A and B are shown apart, each in its own frame.
Chain A
Amino acid sequence: MNIDNTASQMRKGVLEFCILSIIKLGEAYPSDIIDKMKAANLNILEGTLYPLLTRLKNAEFLTYRWVESNSGPPRKYFSLTEKGAEFYNELESTWMELANAVDEITGKKI
């Protein structure tokens, strides 16, 4: 049981939720997602993002379209499917409950 391990476990749990919420705001390109997360001080490796996106896409929560880019190969822009939106809502309510519970337990009243 070490701190790194626990912390990364916690981070991992909310990662998908964060990604989905970024994409929900509008079509997103992976490096945009990374940038936004960095801006929110949530550092993840780019390498971990791609498999997550692919998994979500394969689970039909996400869809993408190719957009030509002037700086290299065409980019994949991801957006939420209907199924993805439902999934996101469920995650959001779960998150809210969890956040409330954690705040309550740790004694920080909102």
Chain B
Amino acid sequence: MKKVININFQGAVVPIEETSYELLKQYIESLRHYFANEEGRDEIINDIESRISELFQERLKKGSTCISDDDVNSIIKNMGRPQDLEEAENGEQFNSAANTKDEFKEKRESNHQDNWNWKGKRLYRDENHKILGGVCSGIAAYFGIDPVIVRVLFIVSGIGFLLYLLLWIFVPGSNMLVNGVRKRLYRNPDGKIIGGVCSGIGSYFNFNPWLPRIIFLIPFISFFFRWGHIGPLTFPNFITFSFSPGTFIIYIILWLVIPEAHTTSEKLEMKGEKVDLNSIKNSVVEEMKGVKERVGKLGKEAGSLAKEKGGEMGQEMKFAAKRTSGVLGNIIVTLFKVFAYFVLGCIALALIVALFSLAVVSIGLFPLKEFVLTDGWQSALAWGTLIFFIGVPVIGVITFIIRRIARIKSNNRMMRYSFIGLWLLGIVCFGSLIASVSSDFRRTSSPNEEKVFLANPGVQSLEVSSLNNNRYYRNNRWFRFEPFANFDDDTVFIGNVRIKIEKSLNDNFQIGLIKMCNGDTRRHADTLAALINFNISQNDSLLLADRAISINTTDKFRNQSVEMIIYVPVGHRIKVNKNMAYNRVWINGPWRHDDWYNWDDEDFNFKYGVEYIMKENGLYTLDGIKAGKEDDWNSNDEDYNSGSSDSNQQIYRYNRNKLDSLRDDKERQIQKMQQTVDSLKHMKEQQIIKEKDSLRNVKEKVEQKIEKLDEQRAISAKAYLRPASESYNFIMHI
């Protein structure tokens, strides 16, 4: 069931199905775009419309009640779609240079009955007179001025490059036709908040208008949330400061440049062909088809190889192999395909992610180049690396993705080659930059310990604290690049300071400094090492030291490092404050220069802000816990390999300590056991005493009773003496 409408088409009333009407309308609109550059465009369209009208009449005369989709489609097929026409003419319709300007001039001799209000003035990229992307000549044609003026303006204005890229991406070329309907970027008056720019961009790419809105707003949001606290050159700030005026300007310019969609046809044009998930999926599927074929080919080759091998192994094996390549082979090929897709996807994703993170990191670090690179040559190479080696692929990938999404399929070979060429240039820049910089780091200075004069070396305890210039040492950047602690315009601070605590040989605190540096020659390295400015001052028991080395743009960063050795006399105390916690602390143990990065705070039994005391055999906390690394790794390493008597002694000491503490433990245990045994003994004794007492009591009582009985017996004996003796006698007689 379809709705039939009557249209007045070329002076005749035509009943036509609504969908067919849409088709026809779209088709004529696409022709209109196709012939946009043609001098007699309206006449051509009129002729074609007349012909179509005639064909309609023929059909209606044959007995059709109305024009259907099929009718329209077959007419369109005979007439040819713009793509077909283009194929047939090979772009010949853009035949004269003079035409191009006329194209943009308004022509309103519209004598069609239909009310498509064609506005001739549109911004296109003029692909016939382009130098780079045709943006400038398009704008020039739009305003009716000389393209050279626009080009000069673009080159002179700083924002020009970025804007150019944006316009290149967003403004369609004059040759660009999407499925016969030119999709146009309009400002959307229906969904506008300010100027409808974002809403228009949203409907152009068919995503939620809030996406471009948020992209435009991010820099401002970040600005309002005052990410500025983080530091002068962190990445979010980089965006905020350089992009927030940028997006504002871009918005304004887009507002001015993009036409507003007034009429219904313009609004339809604004949406054009839907660039939705489906079309993206289609293009991805197309891409993958190629891969599939290749992978399938590989799978087939593998299969045939299996068959060959099978042949070699005789009849039975052949049968087995055939079956393998038949059933199992299929499974294997499928699995292989899945695996290949997966791997390819992962690689592509990883490459893109790596590329973008590289871009982010390098932009974040770029201000550091002043501190590393020496002359203009290196600086130029750094710029070349940033723009060509990193920037070009990033822009390339972005343009590729956008072109893919927008389904722009112009075969722009020039652009591809120039991208590749620029990138190769970037590789060359990068390589020579690395070579040049690494030669500046080639040699290391000779280590040289210098003693630092202390005002009052005889103090009982020393507290190491950082100088009160915390401003430079805030380390809450959201990405960190060791060893750079922080930097501002002319100074960079390197946290390459290490603290080492050793036992002093006399009764005084002593400080030693070893300054190290790299350079292209050893002499240069030594000179630079001597230039390192590291402040230490003592204020009674407080030792104030720099937490980082400051480096300016003239001295350059050459991996400067400072090692501060604090010699603590036996019986004296040392404390390293928490504000020094960024630096690593070592305690007298033997350590090698290149091992330092293996040491972690966890490995290291040293606590900042805790007082330690130096004893004859090392550093201890006040509770008697030894500071320093207690790790099998260390002792094993030193036990057998080291010939140095010092370290042997160390180990010996270490072992003896261990033994001592073990013995102590055991003794304590024994004591405890003894105590319990003693107490048990005591209890038993008391029990025994108690029992003895009670027994004695009982005995006494019994004795008393016996005495009593004896007495009674004596009395009774007296009383019955006679009979008793008589009886006795009697017995005796027997």
Residue ranges of A at the interface with B (Cβ–Cβ < 8 Å): 4-5, 8-9, 12, 30-31, 44-48, 50-51, 53-55, 57-58, 69, 71-76
Which residues of chain B are within 8 angstroms of A4 by Cβ–Cβ distance? 87
CB of A5 to closest CB in B, whole Å? 7
A-B CB contact pairs (8 Å), 28 listed:
A5-B90, A8-B90, A12-B89, A30-B47, A30-B51, A31-B54, A45-B79, A45-B84, A46-B80, A47-B31, A47-B80, A47-B85, A48-B80, A50-B44, A50-B47, A51-B38, A51-B44, A53-B47, A54-B38, A54-B47, A55-B40, A71-B57, A72-B12, A72-B53, A72-B54, A72-B56, A73-B12, A75-B50
B11 at interface (Cβ–Cβ under 8 A)?
Answer: yes
Would you call the interface of chain B mostly helix, strand, loop, or mixed?
Answer: helix
Most chain B CB within a 10 A radius of its CB, from A47, A50, A69, A76: A47
- Give chain B interface residues in 466-499, CB to chain A under 8 Å: none
Chain A proximity mask over B19-54: 1 for CB below 8 Å, otherwise 0: 000000000000100010011100110011011011
B61 at interface (Cβ–Cβ under 8 A)?
Answer: yes
Most chain B CB within a 10 A radius of its CB, from A12, A69, A73, A76: A73
- Give chain B interface residues in 79-120, CB to chain A under 8 Å: 79-81, 84-85, 87-90, 92-93
B279 at interface (Cβ–Cβ under 8 A)?
Answer: no
Residue ranges of B at the interface with A (Cβ–Cβ < 8 Å): 10-12, 31, 35, 38-40, 43-44, 47-48, 50-51, 53-54, 56-58, 61, 78-81, 84-85, 87-90, 92-93
Are A47 and B40 touching (Cβ within 8 A)? no
CB of A1 to closest CB in B, whole Å? 13
Which residues of chain A are within 8 angstroms of B89 by Cβ–Cβ distance? 12, 48, 51
Provide the bound-state CA to CA distance between A53 and B35, in Å. Answer: 14
CB of A76 to closest CB in B, whole Å? 7
Which residues of chain B are within 8 angstroms of A58 by Cβ–Cβ distance? 39-40
Are B61 and A71 touching (Cβ within 8 A)? yes
* Cβ-closest chain A residue relative to B61: A71
Are B90 and A73 touching (Cβ within 8 A)? no
* Cβ-closest chain A residue relative to B81: A47
Provide the bound-state CA to CA distance between A47 and B48, in Å. Answer: 7
Which residues of chain B are within 8 angstroms of A72 by Cβ–Cβ distance? 10, 12, 50, 53-54, 56-58
Q: Select which of B12, B53, B88 is within 8 A of A48 by beta carbon.
A: B88
The answer to whether A73 and B54 touch (CB under 8 A), given A9-B90, A45-B85, A47-B85, is yes
The answer to whether A47 and B50 touch (CB under 8 A), given A54-B43, A71-B57, is no
Which residues of chain A are within 8 angstroms of B10 by Cβ–Cβ distance? 72-73
Provide the bound-state CA to CA distance between A51 and B80, in Å. Answer: 12
Provide the bound-state CA to CA distance between A54 and B621, in Å. Answer: 101
Are B50 and A54 touching (Cβ within 8 A)? no
Are A54 and B61 touching (Cβ within 8 A)? no
Provide the bound-state CA to CA distance between A37 and B85, in Å. Answer: 17
Are A8 and B88 touching (Cβ within 8 A)? yes
Most chain B CB within a 10 A radius of its CB, from A9, A44, A72, A75: A72
Provide the bound-state CA to CA distance between A96 and B40, in Å. Answer: 31
Provide the bound-state CA to CA distance between A95 and B562, in Å. Answer: 90
